[in-house]
Structure 1
Amino acid sequence: MVTLPCAAVLFDVDGTLVDSTPLVERAARVWAAEYGIDADEFLSDAHGRRTSDRVADFLAADRVREATARLDALEASRTDGITALPGVLALLAALDDLPWALVTSMDKEQLRVRTGVAGVPLPPVAITAEDVPRGKPDPSGYLLAAERLGVDPSACLVVEDAPAGVAAGRAAGATVVAVTTSHPAGSLTAADHIVPDLTHVLPAPGGLRLTL
């Protein structure tokens, strides 16, 4: 076991707290067919990034807004299969006085719907795609969350599941804990610590305790 002291915990959402992967992949495949894009190529580096940023990798700038809105609409049309990942609800309920926030590449409505379906509570500070000029792996979201919590980013723990998010947390100066809920450990080696899921993370006085 290892205990990590911190002033706050900053959680990614999709793939870290909430599993909506089947829904997202189904929507992406419908969308990719409409736009003549290889769905597997699109999905290969989509997880953990803002939709608009990934769409911009494939389409001209003047098509990004409309195409992003279409993909968002496809994702919003269903909620089946959305669940909280193992250990999430118990950990969040046990954090007590330790401040925590969400930093997600989803927009506000996606966050509201998916956390609501999964039963994940929304904290006072939740940074979404609309709140930052650049998405992960840029650290803007994590820096803004730390600022709104009134803590130094270097005193935060970031909990992530995707390489882009791990890079964002490291760039923000935080200690990063990665969970292998969506990516293999080999693609998350930039994290400071890697655990299978949040059943291996427990609250501790002034921080979190990991069972490795």
Structure 2
Amino acid sequence: MIDIVASGVLFDMDGTLVDSTAVVEATWSRFGARHGIDPAEILAFSHGRQAIDTVQRFLPDLPLDEQQRIAAALVAEESASSEGIVEIAGAAAFVERLLDAGVPVALVTSAPRDLAVGRMAAAGVSLPAAFVPSEDAPRGKPHPDGYLRGAALLGVPVEECVAFEDAPAGLEAAVSSGATTVVVGGLDHPVTAGLQRVVGFDGVEVAREGSAFRIRG
């Protein structure tokens, strides 16, 4: 159950609005097999982070240009497939409710622009006009840069925004930014302590309250 009054909404993408588990796990499992790394260890680290950060974590001794080449190839591999990509329960309708109510909404994702556009379309979730892909965040999650930029694009103080996130790195980024942070899904992690939570977005409603909006469900 959540009950929050806010002036803007910031969404993560993967695991929050879009379920891309099948594509992500397949891509990073192949990466692990190629480099002799346990895929479970990679996936535990990579969720919510930019591809280059994960490559640098597991292949730290490679030259930067080679790390960047591998990261770009991984993103291209993920972009080539939309198989199994669906919305998180109720996400598409909830985003539409927010937009129809006039709520300022931004997408803040660790995915590159083209990958994010493709995944949102595959899942049938509207892409908000305010959009912060990995190219536009100086530092990736768990740094708060993306959320700070998202709030700035909305013209709303980040402290008056609510951020929806599902992964440890993203939750840390959202909390650090100063946004009211909601966990999406069942993650049990120290960063989730004391945070409000939703399993999905079915039944989450929005209504204007003065100059702000109440989000409840």
The TM tier, using the shorter chain, reads over 0.9
Cα RMSD of the aligned pairs, angstroms, is 1.6
Alpha-carbon separation, structure 1, partners of 2:16 and 2:190: 15
Name the TM-score, length of structure 2 as normaliser: 0.90
Change (3 A) 1:114 1:49: same
Aligned match of 2:107? 102
Amino acid corresponding to residue 46 of structure 1 in structure 2? S
Is 1:198 aligned to residue 198 of structure 2? no
**Could you list the runs of 5+ residues in structure 2 that have no partner in the other structure?**
none
Amino acid at match of 2:151: A
CA separation of 1:15 and 1:208: change in aligned 2, threshold 3 A: farther
What does residue 158 of structure 2 align with?
Answer: 153
Amino acid at match of 2:215: R
Tell me the secondary structure at the aligned position of residue 15 of structure 1.
coil
- 2:121 aligns with 116
From 68, 76, 80, the equivalent of 1:77 is 80
Query: Is the counterpart of residue 93 in structure 1 residue 96 in structure 2?
Result: yes
TM-score of the two chains, using structure 1 as the length reference: 0.92
Pairing 1:53–2:53 present: yes
Contact 1:178–1:188, Cα closer than 8 Å, also in 2: no
Give percent identity, aligned residues only.
39
Cα distance in 1, alignment partners of residues 82 and 127 from structure 2:
18
Work out the number of aligned pairs and report it.
209
Q: Secondary structure at the match of 1:198?
A: coil
1-10 or 170-179, which moves further after superposition?
1-10
**Deviations, residues 155-203 of structure 1 (Å, cap 9, x unaligned):** 00000011111111111001001111xx534455246211212225221
By how many angstroms is 1:58 displaced?
A: 1.0
Q: In the aligned structure 1, how far is the partner of 2:94 from the partner of 2:189?
A: 25
User: Unaligned stretches of 5+ in structure 1?
Assistant: none
Distance 1:196 1:155 in 2: 23
The 8 Å contact of residues 115 and 122 in structure 1, kept in 2 or not, is answered as yes
Q: What amino acid is the match of 1:55?
A: V
Distance 1:53 1:69 in 2: 12
